[in-house]
Amino acid sequence: MDSHAPLYRDTDLVLSVESVTKSFDGFRAINDLNFYLGEGELRTIIGPNGAGKSTFMDLITGRTRPDEGTLTYHQDDGHDLDLTKMREYEVNRLGIARKFQTPSVYTQHTVYENFVLSLNRNRGVLKTLFYKETAADREEIEEVLELTRLADRRHELAGSLSHGQKQWLEIGMLLAQRPRILLVDEPAAGMSDEETERTAELLIGLRGKHSIMVIEHDMVFIRQIAKKVTVLHQGHVLKEGTFSDVANDPVVKEVYLGRSKHEDAA
Ligand code: ADP
Ligand code: MG
């Protein structure tokens, strides 16, 4: 593992992505990508289907290796780690958690048990069920139960939750592990308007506590949570700025916002 002290850094970054390229069968899904994520930032990533958004998350989490370029994790002790040399579980262990698009929870267990399981992922399901959670665990679980608004559902089976509640449960399970970076891929997909709004509130509440990247298509949702927006197009950053910077950019409008489905956002 590559580790060296940074010479100089002008802002508190948690992640630097430089000149990254990734091809699949000759097709450049990610093309000379440069990206920087600040400590405690809530960043939204938009872009048309096939822009490379999910692949970008695959590259950060070690699921996919870049052909070229660097992905550097800046630890809070000032040391840098080369993510391209690490396996998926090693990246996760650093405190980089990822929420995939479809919810993945233990449907046959209660909401509370799901949180217990998430705190003990290395123990396995059986051991965890006989594990008595500590006072600190219980405190942590109460916190995420409140945050995800699942406190009054704690004894219900996760399988009985609505789609939105399952998504919050899984976000909560990741949060219980106190990640430094949280990557969330299209959380609002398939949600009702009310669920979407609650998801926005949940993520906004995490600002400053975790560094978060949210991929989303729903422009109403993006407008709600956006601080800095990155527009990805053909595997490259097309534009970065505030929601209105991005929404009013003629090139962005043309490649993305101009599409009929998103016209109201521009
Ligand atoms: P987005 O999430 O922005 O919709 P993706 O990152 O999923 O886009 O995909 C970007 C492009 O890379 C697409 O053309 C997709 O088909 C291709 N791609 C992604 N992952 C793979 C893979 N493992 N093998 C082959 N092609 C892939
Ligand atoms: Mg995707």
CATH code of 23's domain? 3.40.50.300
Q: Is ligand 1 within 6 A of the CB of residue 210?
A: no
Atom of ligand 1 minimally distant from the CA of 25:
25
Residue 34 belongs to a domain: yes
Range of the domain at 34: 13-106+179-265
The protein residue whose alpha carbon is closest to atom 19 in ligand 1 is 55
Residue 266 burial class via C-beta count within 10 angstroms: exposed 0-12, middle 13-18, buried 19 and up: middle
Q: What is the mean pLDDT of residues 136-152?
A: 94
Give the side-chain half-sphere CA count within 13 A for 138. Answer: 5
Atom of ligand 1 nearest to the CA of 49: 4
* Residue 87 domain-assigned (yes or no): yes
pLDDT at 108: 96
Question: Is the residue at 116 inside a domain?
Answer: no
Which residue's CA lies nearest to atom 12 of ligand 1?
A: 29
Domain assignment of residue 239, yes or no: yes
Nearest to 239 by CA among 51, 12, 16, 21: 51
- Reported as a pLDDT band with limits 50, 70 and 90, residue 122 is low
Say if ligand 1 is within 6 A of residue 55 CB: yes
Closest CA to 80 of 150, 15, 124, 165: 15
Instruction: Tell me whether residue 137 is in a domain.
Output: no
Classify residue 37: in a domain, yes or no: yes
pLDDT tier at 231 (50, 70, 90 boundaries)? very high
- Element (DSSP H or E) covering residue 42: strand 42-46
Residue 212: its H or E element = strand 211-215
Residue bearing the CA closest to ligand 1, atom 13 = 50
Residue 219 has pLDDT above 90, yes or no: no
- Give per-residue pLDDT as tens, 202-218: 999 999 999 999 999 88
- Report which protein residue has its CA nearest ligand 1's atom 25: 24
CA dist 173 and 252 (Å) reads 35
Whether 131 maps to a domain, the answer reads: no
**Residue 33 located in a structural domain:** yes
Round to whole Å and give the CA distance between 266 and 153: 38
Please state the domain count of the chain: 1
